[in-house]
Structure 1
């Protein structure tokens, strides 16, 4: 998976002004950036509760589970790594030994930790967060960052967006807290220490002094050292001399403070590239019928056509995201052999892809939002059609190839691409026809005489036993795969020298022959090595079959 990092940068002059007057400059520099931070402190135990009582256990009115904890081997002992609310209420804490915890809470339910399952669940929640913004990044093992700059008005404002997010997470069975701030550092701190807060750049100077030192996300040993010195609030550090703090605790401490102030930018890395062109529709009622989904895809594709035409571009890869009511997200991709912007053709490709999924297409309780995006597009110039209004035969071929790739998968429809090698088995490679990679050199796809090469070329030459009338002559009899063949006609040799620059100076020369046995079957054989001129005894191989 590819990630795109984005961040705000400040020129040196702006940074100097910010240090002189932070409140004034922060409002000007980062007024447009809005970050929603979501904290999921009980993600491992919520995963277990959802598996036992269902994804909707909170909204369905199920009682809160008893004390539940996850344990893993930490420093040679089984210790608690995650707790639910009931376990915390009994006085248990992360890092506590399992034996000690059970002595305090005899009815504690201890489950082995599964970090891989927790990571998969967090990734699924990040997909779920795409409904608000495509700029979603994971924040450690228990949090998410959403860059909602410029999109909060689509949900009725930041307060309404925050309320909708928290309500949905509650109904999905998660214990979560969230906050919105001008930068990720402050949003992270507010989500965990002042949940529900919406901070503006002007609020930074008021909020920071009251936050605990733990809000700076410092290493535990640094936080403990600061606490021993009586520095328990961020306000105790903001006005302190910077040079002594740097000598005592390193540059990371001041870097964390500057990020929370907004003097240093903190990038968020979305998990997937953000498409430049997209169209989405939020549905009043969930849909689950494939035909209805196909109709909606056609409407979204029609919306994209105008944008593509303005850019003079066509789709090379399109992605359809279907957001289910229960929070699951289904992604479906199609590719094209050449750029296109015809909504009908794009709709047919997705119809083929949906048909190939068949019974595996699980709509659950239905989809409440559909998004069609174009992550990859290329220049597409307008072309004159035939007098009868039809395209060329080549256009029909590409349309067929696209539909086959959508139905069978892109790895099943391949195209030969020449490579910089004259050795037959290395002269070509095969890539999906919908791939953006083209030929790597100017070598033609076929040799000057197409009849000189077999239609079927073995991936690796297979050894055969052959007898020739003279040492340097063609074979008269050869055995391949336990079958004996007597040669009726032979043509050759075609000599192919070794690639000494890659295989070494001792690489052997090949003499290829086109032979036909008495039954009329034609083969492509070669003798590797030259008598008395190259080391070793020459050997025979079969490399291809003519049809």
Structure 2
């Protein structure tokens, strides 16, 4: 349920009065309010770019000079255009529409395109989905028109000229042929040329030979006609990356209890895993989206170190993530839809059930790593990798444990089995200055003197002057043990005068 389909079904939304609706949404409705229009400067003259319903009933229209509009309706409220504010509202509506499908594209300046393939059945059918969206948007104070077709341009055109129309699959030609040529939204010069030639509808233009259209208006114009007729597919540009797989669960009544939310995640997680099993894939990055009844949206993301398609494991990762949120998941008046999407997937090889205890232990460690990363964050769970250098403090790097890195250098043993360690278990974050006295042999570190009983060295290490930015002075390293049995790793910088530092402590 909810997997992305190849057959496209696109729902176009058009907000014909977006600027005036934006202004009126937060106003208190009053009787005898003056008609509202929005004006912008076009070629040095102020013209109407949006009119509300009251102004439209008084025969005011978009493109009309403001002076003429004032002459017709003296009591007129005029507000300057704000394209930025309109774009912000359109983006907010796009995010709100994300509850119906994860593939939502802006159709600027006043429309949206939703790819509803595989999503309509979650709300009944395409008609139920279209009516639900229009009703909800109108309740939010927005005038909206909508249509569904198999191509973006066909849906775009029908939303503006055939509000509420749903085109059957591969029936776009019959649906758009009666529409005026303006529905193609070609440049004004091309539209005027078609009308002068007597071609006033899309069907009349489509009846002409391809060679005539291409030679006179170019291949791009003919391609646009083909797209409107459903004979050519043009991609849309979603606001967010399309998930590879997704599933969702809607609720007749909003839910708010933790138990119901966890059960829903487990249920849609099983459906998502079934989809990935069919394709031989596993998820590396998953996103759960929680849609509140009041329109608020919360997204929670978890990652896995290896491809995963076990529903119980996925539910456990999200449980860890939800438990660690600094800003807890607030259900408010309840969630009416929860969606789970696989944002990044990888192919999974078919593997036999591991019987080797070491293999099973490695898998458990990987799962533990994923749980810790979900709780504390990916950048806080690190793994040590070797680094190709002989400088002690540069011989290893810390990288996120969930990501597997291929390194040319491998860990190697530098001592025999019966030999004492040559490197300390713990290196200090920064070498600390110490003092050495030879008669008697003793060490001053952190304001305390320690008598030394064993002393071994030197081991000379030259600094990599061509790479390091810090000190490039060669070092002589020594291993020492004090009277209490504590063992230290010291070095002397071969400079004038010589300086001694504590670099590490043996276990």
TM-score past 0.5 threshold: yes
Once the two structures are TM-superposed, the CA of residue 361 in structure 1 deviates from its matched residue by: 2.6
TM-score, reference length from structure 2: 0.73
Cα deviation, 1:50-72, whole Å, max 9, x if unaligned, reads: 4556xxxxxxx998986455667
Distance 1:270 1:439 in 2: 32
Are 1:441 and 2:407 matched, yes or no?
yes
Cα distance in 2 for partners of 1:493, 1:467 equals 19
- Contact residue 499 and residue 507 of structure 1 kept, 8 A: no
> Is residue 195 from structure 1 mapped to residue 158 from structure 2 by the alignment?
no
Q: State the distance in 1 between where 2:422 and 2:192 align.
A: 79
- Residues 1:339 and 1:201: Cα distance change in structure 2 (over 3 Å): closer
Per the alignment, residue 495 of structure 1 pairs with 462
Asked if the contact 1:418–1:439 (Cα under 8 Å) also holds between the matched residues in 2, the reply is no
- 1:216 is aligned to 184
- Conserved? CA contact 1:87–1:108, under 8 Å: no
Query: Structure 1's 492 and 330: CA in aligned 2 closer, same or farther, altered over 3 A?
Result: same
Partner deviation per Cα, 1:237-296 (whole Å, 9 max, x = no partner): 334465565455433222211221233321223444444444432212211233431232
Conserved 8 A contact 1:40-1:142: yes
Contact 2:461 / 2:477 at 8 angstroms: preserved in 1? no
Does the Cα contact within 8 Å between 2:354 and 2:360 map onto a contact in 1?
Answer: no
Helix, strand or coil: the match of 1:348? helix
SS of alignment partner, residue 474 of structure 2: strand
Asked if 1:35 is matched to 2:10, the reply is: yes
Is the CA contact 1:414–1:431 (under 8 Å) kept in the aligned structure 2? Answer: yes
Helix, strand or coil: the match of 2:462?
Answer: strand
SS in structure 2 of the partner of residue 190 of structure 1: helix
Which range moved further: 220-229 or 370-379?
220-229
Deviates more, 1:299-308 or 1:95-104: 95-104
Distance 1:52 1:526 in 2: 77
User: Whose radius of gyration is greater, 1 or 2?
Assistant: 2
Q: Does 2:328 align with 1:328?
A: no
Question: Separation in 2 of the partners of 1:97 and 1:446?
Answer: 81
1:322 Cα deviation after fit: 1.5
CA–CA separation in structure 1 for the residues paired with 2:52 and 2:88 = 19
Give yes or no for the alignment of 1:511 onto 2:481: no
Does 2:310 match 1:347? no
- Alpha-carbon distance between aligned partners in 2 of 1:428 and 1:37, rounded to the nearest angstrom: 54
Conservation of the 8 A alpha-carbon contact between 2:170 and 2:230: no
| 1:257 matched residue in structure 2 | 225
> Counterparts of 1:544 and 1:82 in 2: how far apart (Å)?
73
Given that 1:325 and 1:366 are in contact with CA atoms closer than 8 Å, whether structure 2 keeps it comes out as yes
Counterparts of 1:93 and 1:523, CA distance in 2: 85
Alpha-carbon displacement from aligned partner over 1:203-235 (angstroms, at most 9, x marks no partner): 544444432222112234543555566654334
On the 8 A contact 2:435/2:500 being kept in 1, the answer is no
1:507/1:64 CA distance change after superposition, 3 Å: farther
Name whichever of 445-454 and 410-419 sits farther off: 445-454
Q: Which runs of 5+ in 2 are unaligned?
A: 416-420, 437-442
Question: In the alignment, does 2:79 pair up with 1:113?
Answer: no
Q: Deviation per CA, 1:467-524: give whole Å up to 9, x if none.
A: 99xxxxxxxx9xxxxx9x99x9885421254568xx9xx9996634547999999788
Q: 1:359 to 1:248 in 2, by over 3 A?
A: same
CA drift at 1:178: 0.9
Partner of 1:414: 382
1: CA distance between counterparts of 2:422 and 2:97? 57
Contact 1:40 1:174 in 2 (8 A): yes
Q: Which runs of 5+ in 1 are unaligned?
A: 1-5, 9-31, 54-60, 469-476, 478-482, 532-536
RMSD between aligned alpha carbons? 5.2
Distance 1:201 1:312 in 2: 30
Distance 2:61 2:464 in 1: 72
Equivalent residues in 2 for 1:258-277 (5 A)? 258-277=226-245
1:83–1:365 distance in 2 versus 1, CA, 3 Å: farther
SS at match of 1:141: coil
Closer/same/farther in 2, CA of residues 313 and 207 from structure 1, 3 Å limit: closer
Q: How many residues were matched structurally?
A: 485
Call closer, same or farther: CA 1:377–1:265 in 2, change over 3 Å: closer
Residue 15 of structure 1 corresponds to none
Aligned equivalents of 2:286 and 2:126: distance in 1?
30
Question: What is the rounded CA distance, in whole Å, between the counterparts of 1:417 and 1:303 in structure 2?
Answer: 37
1:140 offset after TM fit, Å?
2.7
After the TM superposition, which of the residue ranges 317-326 and 375-384 deviates more from structure 2?
375-384
- Distance between the aligned counterparts of 1:448 and 1:102, measured in 2? 90
TM-score by length of 1: 0.68
Aligned to 1:403: 371
